[in-house]
Structure 1
């Protein structure tokens, strides 16, 4: 019986915290290959020998990397064909991509930019339509952040606050989209809290956003949310300048 995908993701995260293993590195390069070649469901991956040449890893390492990827549900073996991209397992796929995502300043900016479009964009609707009880419920969720017993729990409580905020827009498609991105957003939040584990600051920033909603102040909400989403960028290392 295969291991639980969530447990595997946790194991991968633990190994990465202490330094990427050769298997993790090979899995990441195979993921890069899938992206670069824009492989679709049913497309066949290169053979183990070819992947070994492409990634520079031994065939044993490639075999273990493929086993990890297969456990996440991203690929499946096909007799007399080889490993093919699987279908219908979106949660497993998003977990794998999140676990192997390199968080650079540029990728962080892209993700936070996407979040800004959504979370700032819904401000007008929330300010005009959210009830006082709904806004107070946000305050209750926010209070759980400082009660977190681990970085992972703090990230989850942080995400729950933003997810509840999205829910106030009353748009199911928007909620589903944000939920689908949860592994990636949670990874960003976890990294941020590893670099600067001051949970009181997160609660305070959320509290200012809640205060703007209570005051029905759209401008203050937009400013405070944008500032909050940009804040963690200062804790990521500068990327080297590209050579021309």
Structure 2
């Protein structure tokens, strides 16, 4: 076959093959980071070194680095190269915060989810809570009541509920709660621009704290459920 015929029948590398090569390289870099104990602040090898080490083309290397950057694992800095960071949670939060509208349906969905994890965490919460935790929750509640503006009050409200989950000691629940912060904070803002909403949230928090301090499971579940449902009147 002539050279021209060979060129005519030559096929470009399928896009799926290139993507698979990038995915494979991302995994190889992840394994390298773990095996060599690389951590936040450390630099990855240069593109030339990665290319030689993993027998990968320069374009594949750059695409893998771009993917790691999108994941929030590395940051590419001038004259330094790819530096390991950890903003994976921020990257997820950015996705969840995009184009979000508060409707009654969304409100109920989020509150149902919160009820499942905040009331569901009652057993470890009661087992781990100490007097310092009770004082901390009361302090956050006071800060919410005295905060200026609905956004600041909502932020303190969020801190209160995040502190409860933190006391329970389940890091996965805490991470999920942080992912949903934009939605939860917007939801909490709805009633914080009127006195009724501020006082209502403060009193409901206080009842939740009292039940926690007294190790009253049914009281905790009742007041938390009532609190999570109360905001619907402001939607």
TMscore range, shorter length: 0.5 to 0.7
| Aligned equivalents of 1:196, 1:110: Cα separation in 2 | 26
Would the alpha carbon gap of residues 137 and 195 (structure 1) be closer, same or farther in structure 2, given more than 3 Å must change? closer
SS in 1 for 2:70: coil
Which residue does the alignment assign to 1:122? 121
| Aligned equivalents of 1:192, 1:96: Cα separation in 2 | 25
Alignment of 1:198 onto 2:197? yes
SS in 1 for 2:71: coil
Which residue does the alignment assign to 2:78? none
- Tell me, yes or no, if the aligned pair for 2:124 and 2:168 is still in contact at 8 Å: yes
Which residue does the alignment assign to 1:144? 143
- Tell me, yes or no, if the aligned pair for 1:195 and 1:235 is still in contact at 8 Å: no
Structure 2, unaligned runs of 5 or more: 1-18, 20-68, 73-88
SS in 2 for 1:198: helix
Which residue does the alignment assign to 2:93? 94
Provide TM-score, normalisation by structure 1: 0.57
- Tell me, yes or no, if the aligned pair for 1:152 and 1:190 is still in contact at 8 Å: yes
Which residue does the alignment assign to 1:230? 229
> Displacement of 1:97 after TM fit?
4.1
Would the alpha carbon gap of residues 173 and 227 (structure 1) be closer, same or farther in structure 2, given more than 3 Å must change? same
Deviation track 1:29-75 (CA, whole Å, cap 9, x = no partner) reads xxxxxxxxxxxxx9xxxxxxxxxxxxxxxxxxxxxxxxxxxxxxxxx
- Tell me, yes or no, if the aligned pair for 2:191 and 2:198 is still in contact at 8 Å: no
| Aligned equivalents of 1:125, 1:92: Cα separation in 2 | 29
Structure 1, unaligned runs of 5 or more: 1-41, 43-85, 237-244
| Aligned equivalents of 2:223, 2:182: Cα separation in 1 | 24
RMSD after superposition: 2.3
* Counterparts of residues 43-192 of structure 1 (less than 5 Å): 87-88=70-71, 91=90, 94-95=93-94, 97-98=96-97, 100-192=99-191
> Displacement of 1:99 after TM fit?
5.3
Matched positions, count: 153
Provide TM-score, normalisation by structure 2: 0.59
From the CA coordinates, give the structure whose radius of gyration is larger: 2
| Aligned equivalents of 2:190, 2:97: Cα separation in 1 | 12
| Aligned equivalents of 2:103, 2:194: Cα separation in 1 | 14
